[in-house]
Amino acid sequence: MYNVNTKVETQPFTVEELTDTEKKKLKTVTQGYGRIRGFSREVGIHENTLRMVLLKGSGRPETIQMIRQKLSA
């Protein structure tokens, strides 16, 4: 009926993990009232994405790279 492409091709991505020292540093930086929201704004990612990285310790390579750059600065 409609000319709609129903085949959606998805590209698989790799998951990158934070090291133990990076996890500890991230937890200390984001601990406190409003610190997760503030850090996510500084990094430039959504705060729920940052929460998932805190819970899992891993994420997409682009996200982990942005977090690592901010932690090292």
Is residue 21 included in any domain, yes or no?
A: yes
Is residue 64 included in any domain, yes or no?
A: yes
Strand partners, 16: 59
Is residue 52 included in any domain, yes or no?
A: yes
The tens-digit pLDDT sequence of the chain (73 residues) is: 567 777 777 777 789 999 999 999 999 999 999 999 999 999 999 999 999 999 999 999 999 999 999 998 7
Residue-level pLDDT at 1 = 57
**Angstrom distance (rounded) from CA 40 to CA 29:** 11
Is residue 63 included in any domain, yes or no?
A: yes
Residue-level pLDDT at 13 = 75
Q: Model-level pTM?
A: 0.79
| Number of structural domains the chain divides into | 1
Is residue 51 included in any domain, yes or no?
A: yes
Residue-level pLDDT at 42 = 94
